[in-house]
Amino acid sequence: MGKMMLLLTVFIIFGALFVERLVVFRQKLFADRVVPLKRLPNCELIPGIDNGAEDIDILPNGLAFFSSGLKYPGLKTFEPHKGGHILLMNLMSESPRPVELKIEGGFDIDTFNPHGISLYTERNDSIYLFVVNHPEGNSAVEIFQFFEEERYLLYLRTVTNELLSSVNDILAVGPEHFYATNDRYFRSETVSVYVEMFWGLSWTNVVYYSPKKVKEVASGFYSANGINMSPDGKFIYVADILDHSIRVFQKMSNMNLSPVKVLKLETILDNISVDRTTGDLWLGCHPNAAKLLSYDPKNPPGSEVLQVKDILSDKPQINQVYVDDGTIIQASSVAIMFNKHLIIGTVFQKALYCHL
C-alpha cells in the first residue's frame, strides 16, 4: 500500500509539472495575442522571391543582399529540391529587382542552404559577406568577398567549430571575425522540441570566433536568434525568440559581452536590423510561431514588424509598424529600413518592399 501511495504521489507531482510546462510551452509559441491587421500603403511584393528572404543586409550605397531558399528542420519550404542562393537588389534604382549572385572560387553551390547573413567592409573598401550555411543539416559559416563592379561573390573559406553547433545568425566584426548565435543545444529536432523547448532549458548561447580563438561570450538563452550591433559598435543586441526578448550587451575590448539590460516584448521576434543613422532597431516577428511548426495554407503564419527606439533608455519606445495575417506575406523573419524604404523578408515565402 505504501509503494502504491508513493507511486501515486510521484505521478500526481509529475502530472502537475507536465501541465505547468505545457502551459508555459504554449505561451512561448503562441504569445497568446490577438493582433489586428496593420498594413502599410505603397507596398509591393518583390518579384522573383518566392522561397524566402530569411535575412537581409544592406550596404550604405543601397545594395541589398538576401539569403533565400532556407531549408530548416520542422519548417515549410516551397522548393525542397532547389538549392539556396544569395540575391542582390539595388535599392537606388528606379525599379529595384533582385538578381541571383554568381559565386566563384570552387564553392559547393549544390549543398548551399543559407540562413543568417552579415556584411563587413574593411578600411580599404573590401566588402565581405558572411553567410550561415546548413549543408546537409550541419552548421558552417561561409566567408565571401563581394566584387561590386562585376557583381559576384568570391568564395574565401568555410568556418566550422564544435562551438558553432547550431548557428542561426551572424554578426561580422572583422574580415575573419564574427559573433554567432546558436539557436538550439541538441542537434536532434525531436529532442530539441520535446526536451529543450518543452522543458524550458536555457542552454543556447553566443559565440565569438576569430582565427586565433573561439569562445562562448554569452549564455542562458532559450533560443538565441538574431544578432546585431549599435552604429557606434559599443553594444550588441541578441534576440531570444522563445523568451520574447532582446538582450542588450556591452562589447568589451576582449570581445566578451557584458549584460546591460533585457527588453521584453509581447511578440516572438526573429532577426534584428539596426538603422545606421538613428540607431533604431527593426524586428521581423512572428505573431504566432506555432503556425511555423505546423504549416497550414488555409491558416498560414502571419507577419509583424516592430520598431524599437531608444533601447538603452529607461523607457524604450516600441512601435508596431506592420501586421499581416498571412494573406500578403507569411512568417516575417527580418525587417530593414533604408532611405524611408522598408523591406520585409520571410523564412520561406515572399518579400515586401514598402515606400514610407
Q: Catalytic positions, please?
A: 115
> How far, in Å, CA of 331 to CA of 345, rounded?
8
- 225 known ligand binder: yes
Burial class (CB in 10 A: 0-12, 13-18, 19+), 274: buried
271 is an annotated ligand-binding site residue? yes
Instruction: Tell me how far apart the alpha carbons of residues 267 and 151 are, in angstroms, rounded to a whole number.
Output: 37
> Is 169 labeled as ligand-binding?
yes
Q: CA Rg, the chain, in Å?
A: 20
55 is in an annotated binding site: yes
Instruction: Determine whether the annotation assigns residue 13 to a binding site.
Output: no
Residues 305, 25: contact at Cβ < 8 Å?
Answer: no
Cα distance from N-terminal residue to C-terminal residue, the chain: 72
CB atoms within 10 A of CB 38: 12
Question: Binding residue per annotation — 61?
Answer: no
Is 314 labeled as ligand-binding?
no
Q: Is 205 annotated as belonging to a binding site?
A: no
- Point out the annotated binding site: 54-55, 117, 168-169, 225, 270-271
- Point out the annotated binding site for Ca(2+): 54-55, 117, 168-169, 225, 270-271
